Structures are given as structure tokens and as C-alpha cells.
């Protein structure tokens, strides 16, 4: 049991990170204990907040406001869930923070409880600055799986919650300002055939052979995406990628397999129509069903289920979020990042959004995940610069 702090107790960023890392908030588990801890911390400082639970009630996002309760503020967004350390070779307890050789080690240290801890640790400074422009702290869930943990909060912005003028998603970018990343969509396709002796193929439908035609179509689509390329020249690799990661089916060699399922994904450039690839796959599945599975009778069918769909982040040159983050970070240009974030969901809602946070994504999801002390301190300096901007009355106009 982690003891709660006294009302208004000031904690260092490192002390807060230690508290946050100690909560096992793997995406498959509840984050409510962490949220309750943060609520108690904010309440101690008199900071108003709103808990936004998921439908099941076992997880929640948190939206807190420091400064005037009005539109036009800045959201600092971080997720509370982490990937599982299961099967990884950690040198210590993943949920017990430790400092060694200039590194702060623990699950979520860089992705992204470090950013969350910095935001919370600087709440007393935000209060003392008497902000003219509000700063909102948004803690979400399920970023590592679906990026849906911010959706219910976003729906309330401009309704019963203030609508911000800029959003900064604090994923690790080394404090470079990212204004673009690819989308991610994942699917499971299941081919249903009909079992028969392999010597009598006309008495059934071979699910694996039909699935092979679908995988071949994904290969063709992948090649076409490579040829289409990336006109912006900003992404690595410079095209939309298509990938099959898991496939399985059948029982023994001499029986036509009844089922075959495969898991696939695409990571699209920001301008890709998210319906294009699944639409093409659906059309090809109709052809395979008619010409392959049901060649000898009504034996088979194909179904595809989407696991997740995360929109990309498209560049918005000169947006309020970009101008603000570049100035505070001391950068003169933006970058793109190869991983997906919640930023695209904010942008889809019409909110100017960038990704900018301390540390390197190279250390995320790794055994002995870490953020360097230097990077952690740089994140603190960045947030203090943002506080000064909001104290001076930053405006998105």
C-alpha cells in the first residue's frame, strides 16, 4: 500500500514518478488506484478535476485545471497505462523505481509516467504563477492498445469542460516538436471453410488456401503503397506499411482445413484514407469467397474484425500548438515520429496538437526502461517555460 500525502504536500518530480511507477497499470489492468492517488494529490492543492470513467467502470481518465476555468488554455496530455514487462529480462522489480548511472529505471519511466510526474510536480508552481491562461492536465488510459482512453474527455471539451487552444501530448520526443505521425489500424481476418478428405477437395473448402489469396492481396497492396511513397519526404519508411504478423489454421495434412485466421495491420501516412485498405480487402474477400471457397458449393465465408484504429497526426504548419511548443522548447523546426499517439484523436476533434515530451522512445517498452536524469530535468525546464507563457497570458490567436 502506497501512503497518501498530506494536504498540499509538495513532492519532487522524482518522488512523484516513484509513486506513479509503483502502480501496476498495464493496459489489461485497472488504473483506478493511480487515479485515486492523483485525485488526492490535486485535492490537497485545491485543484479542481473531473474523473471520466470508461463504460465498464474499471478505468478512468482525469482532467484537471489550474488557472481560470475558461476556453483557450493548454492541455498537457499523458497516458497512465504501460506495456507488460512479462517475459522481459529486467534487472529488478519493474514497478520499483531506481536510479543508477544517471538513469531513472522503471516501467513507464519514459513512456510516459515521467511526463505525468513532471506535470503533477509543477502544480504548486502553476498555482503560484497565477496563470492568466489555464493549464489542463489530462491523464488517460488504454493508449498502448487503442488510444481510446481520451475519447470521452475530448467529447466534453467545449461542452461541460473548457475547450483548449492547444494540446501537447508528452510522448518522448527528446523535446523535439512532432507535428506528424502515421495512423495504425489492426485487424483479424477469419476464413471459414469446410472439412473434407484432401483427396476429395470438391467436397469442401480449404480455408488456408483461401487465406493465402488474401495475404497475397495484402502483399500487392503493400507494394502499391511503397510505389505511392511519401510526397512529404518526412517518414521512415517513406510509405504506408502493410503487415501480416500472425497466421494459423488446419489440423492435419490430409484434411481440408475448416478455419484459418490471420492478424494484420497497416500504418498509414497522415493523408491515407483509413477506409481504403480495408475496403480493398473486403472487395477481394468477396471474390475469394465466390471463386475459391464456394466453387463447389456454399461451403465458406470470410469475416474481418477491426481490433483498433488510431488516426494519424497531420502537419498543421503554424498552428497555435506548434508555435507555442517550438518557442518553449527552443526549436526552429518540427519533426515526424514513427509511432502512433493520442494526438490524432485531438486533431480529429479540431484541436491544434503536437507531440513533445522528454526522453527517447528508443527506451520505451524495453527491459529496464529508463529516462535519463538529464532528460527528466530538461522536461522540467520545458514545463517551467510553458508556465511562464501561460502566466503572461498566452493566446492561441
Reduced to 3 states (helix: H, G, I; strand: E, B; else coil), residue 258 is coil
301, β-bridge pairs: 192
Is 269:184 a contact under the CB 8 Å cutoff?
Answer: no
Burial class (CB in 10 A: 0-12, 13-18, 19+), 138: buried
Burial 254-275 (b: 16+ CB within 10 A, else e): eebbbbbbbebbbbbbbebebe
Bridge-based pairing of strands 166-169 and 334-337 is unpaired
What is the rounded distance in angstroms from the CA atom of residue 16 to the CA atom of residue 137?
A: 15
Does residue 306 have a cis peptide bond before it, meaning omega lies within 30 degrees of 0?
A: no
Distances (CA, A) of 392 to 50, 124, 165, 386, 389: 26, 17, 15, 10, 5
Backbone angles phi, psi at 144, to 5 degrees: -70, -10
Is the alpha carbon torsion for 51, 21, 364, 388 positive or negative? positive
Q: Is 276 an active-site residue?
A: no
Output the nine-digit C-alpha cell for 199.
483427396
Neighbours of 71 (CB within 10 A): 14
Catalytic residue among 18, 111, 142, 143: 143
Neighbours of 162 (CB within 10 A): 21
What is the rounded distance in angstroms from the CA atom of residue 240 to the CA atom of residue 103?
A: 35
Catalytic residue among 18, 26, 81, 217: 81
Element spanning 260, H or E: strand 259-268
Q: Is 111 an active-site residue?
A: no
Which sequence positions are flagged as catalytic? 81, 143
Amino acid at each position: 500500500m502506497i501512503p497518501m500525502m498530506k494536504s498540499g504536500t509538495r513532492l519532487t518530480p522524482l518522488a512523484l514518478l516513484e509513486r506513479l511507477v509503483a502502480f501496476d497499470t498495464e493496459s489489461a489492468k485497472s488504473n483506478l488506484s493511480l487515479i485515486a492517488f492523483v485525485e488526492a494529490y490535486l485535492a490537497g492543492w485545491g485543484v479542481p478535476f473531473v474523473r471520466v470513467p470508461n463504460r465498464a467502470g474499471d478505468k478512468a481518465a482525469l482532467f484537471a485545471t489550474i488557472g481560470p476555468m475558461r476556453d483557450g488554455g493548454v492541455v498537457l496530455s499523458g497516458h497512465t497505462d504501460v506495456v507488460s514487462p512479462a517475459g522481459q529480462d529486467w534487472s529488478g522489480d519493474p514497478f520499483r523505481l531506481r536510479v543508477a548511472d544517471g538513469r531513472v529505471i522503471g516501467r513507464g519511466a519514459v513512456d510516459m509516467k515521467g511526463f505525468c510526474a513532471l506535470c503533477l510536480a509543477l502544480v504548486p508552481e502553476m498555482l503560484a504563477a497565477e496563470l492568466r491562461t489555464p493549464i489542463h492536465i489530462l491523464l488517460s488510459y488504454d493508449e498502448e492498445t487503442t488510444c481510446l482512453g481520451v475519447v470521452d474527455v475530448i467529447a466534453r471539451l467545449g461542452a461541460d469542460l473548457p475547450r483548449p487552444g492547444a494540446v501537447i501530448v508528452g510522448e518522448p520526443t527528446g523535446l523535439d516538436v512532432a507535428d506528424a505521425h502515421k495512423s495504425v489500424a489492426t485487424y483479424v481476418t477469419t476464413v471459414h471453410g469446410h472439412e473434407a478428405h484432401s483427396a476429395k477437395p470438391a467436397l469442401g473448402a480449404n480455408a488456408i488456401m483461401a487465406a493465402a489469396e488474401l495475404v497475397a492481396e495484402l502483399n500487392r497492396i503493400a507494394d502499391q503503397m511503397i510505389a505511392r511513397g511519401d510526397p512529404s519526404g518526412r517518414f521512415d519508411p517513406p510509405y504506408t506499411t502493410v503487415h501480416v504478423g500472425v497466421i494459423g489454421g488446419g489440423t492435419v495434412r490430409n484434411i481440408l482445413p475448416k478455419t484459418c485466421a490471420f492478424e494484420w495491420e497497416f500504418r498509414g501516412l497522415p493523408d491515407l484514407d483509413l477506409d481504403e485498405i480495408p475496403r480493398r480487402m473486403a472487395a477481394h474477400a468477396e471474390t475469394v469467397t465466390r471463386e475459391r471457397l464456394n466453387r463447389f458449393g456454399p461451403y465458406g465465408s470470410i469475416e474481418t474484425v477491426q481490433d483498433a484504429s488510431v488516426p494519424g497526426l497531420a502537419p498543421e504548419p503554424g498552428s497555435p500548438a506548434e508555435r507555442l511548443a517550438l518557442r518553449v522548447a527552443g526549436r526552429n523546426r518540427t519533426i515526424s515520429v514513427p509511432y502512433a499517439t493520442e494526438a490524432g484523436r485531438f486533431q480529429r476533434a479540431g484541436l491544434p496538437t503536437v507531440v513533445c515530451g522528454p526522453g527517447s522512445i528508443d527506451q520505451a517498452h524495453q527491459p529496464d526502461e529508463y529516462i535519463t536524469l538529464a532528460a527528466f530535468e530538461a522536461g522540467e525546464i520545458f514545463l517551467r517555460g510553458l508556465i511562464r507563457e501561460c502566466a503572461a497570458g498566452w493566446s492561441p490567436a
